[in-house]
Amino acid sequence: MIHCVICCGGTGGHLSPGVALAESLLERKYRSTLVVSHKEVDSRLLKSYPHLEYIKTMGQQFSWKPHHLVSFIISHVAGFFYALRYLHKEKPDVLIGFGGFSTVGMAMAAFLLNIPVIMHEANRCPGKAVRFLSMIAARLYLPPGVRLRSILPKIVRYYGYPVRKSIRKMNTQEARDALGLNVRGRLLVVIGGSQGASPLNDWLRANFEALASEGINICCVTGLNKGAEEVIERTIADGTVVRAYFISFCDKMAELLSSADLAVARAGAGSIAEFMRCRLPSILVPYPFSADFHQQANASFLEKQGGGIVVPETDLHRLRDEVIDVIRNEWLLSSMRRNLELLDRGNSIELMLQDIEHIVSEKRLQKNKAVEVPAS
């Protein structure tokens, strides 16, 4: 039996593909252990997957601020020694990292213990952790078309983003009923990523009256600790009741994305992959301070492929008109849905599983050869 350790904590964009891979490994009767952070977003998402094994590790995001830098160093040193003890005890066959601070210590410890390290990069601009750890990786999974200098081509495979099996396109009305959304007509979802986005929340509250007057209903995932949950209602000129739902967290993403006609969202790789799977057109507002500007790169790629539209955060003043124009244009929405279907790589997990099995098989073969005693 194969045992995989999957480092994927810190954000929904890291954790979701780890969960997707762990579920598929479990289906093949393999063992997997998720390595996650102590963040609330990890705990909330994992509540929906009680059958998955996981551990929580120490670690903090990098910062040049002196007191944060000291905490960063201390937490990662402690995390590294914890990883050494854990991996030495468990002896997994392979370690798979999805980036983020929870990956570094585990990957370095695995390398020292001669455990193959596999790195997966979801964004179109590889992050610091992936760039650093790719130097010790046996395999590097990248989005199609992305290149990383100084990396041997033979270790690179171009696989997409592993999407959880629960994320699938559903009937629109059934999805709305499952979420308890009492709406008629067009529905806009606003999603600021797993941790929310205050500028998008603020934009929505400032523009709700204008959107409501156009008959556009709203469901906004504000993010944890970013305002109270509430429902706002308005009756417009034709007598229709238009509603705006503000919720802090949603663990029914298939229902949420399937219920909508259009999304306004940040441009994380996970969100974009789920939009593709659920065929949901989007207007993307990249987080302007994302590491290496990776959200801008993600959004630009989707726009060039005809699956979304980009509005920079500096241009939020034109977002309302953009939303109204797009959500009314059924021809444009249909075209974007077709393009999203073409972009969706539904076999990413299968390709990864086959490659993981190959790497483990090669490692075991090498180990067996090393212990063979020549016949006398």
Question: Quick one: what percent of the chain has pLDDT higher than 90?
Answer: 71
Per-residue pLDDT tens over the stretch 244-273: 999 998 989 999 999 999 999 999 999 999
Residue, of 66 and 13, whose pLDDT is higher: 13
Q: What count of other Cβ atoms lies within 10 Å of the Cβ of residue 337?
A: 15
What is the helix, strand, coil percentage profile of the chain, to 5? 50, 15, 35
pLDDT at 179 over 60: yes
Question: What's the whole-number average pLDDT of the chain?
Answer: 91
**Are domains 3-163+346-361 and 172-343 of this chain identical in fold?**
yes
| CA-wise closest residue to 230 among 199, 266, 255, 205 | 205
Per-residue pLDDT tens over the stretch 218-245: 999 998 777 778 999 999 999 999 999 9
Per-residue pLDDT tens over the stretch 62-116: 555 666 667 667 777 888 899 999 999 999 999 999 987 778 899 999 999 999 9
Q: Where are the domains of the chain?
A: 3-163+346-361, 172-343
Cβ-proximal residues to 122 (8 Å cutoff; 6+ apart), any chain: 13, 17, 98, 99, 143, 161, 269, 270, 273
pLDDT of residue 66: 66
CATH class of segment(s) 172-343: alpha beta
SS3 at position 35: strand
Cβ-proximal residues to 28 (8 Å cutoff; 6+ apart), any chain: 353
Q: What's the rounded Cα separation, in Å, for the pair 316 and 190?
A: 14
The structural architecture, per CATH, of the domain 3-163+346-361 is: 3-Layer(aba) Sandwich (3.40)
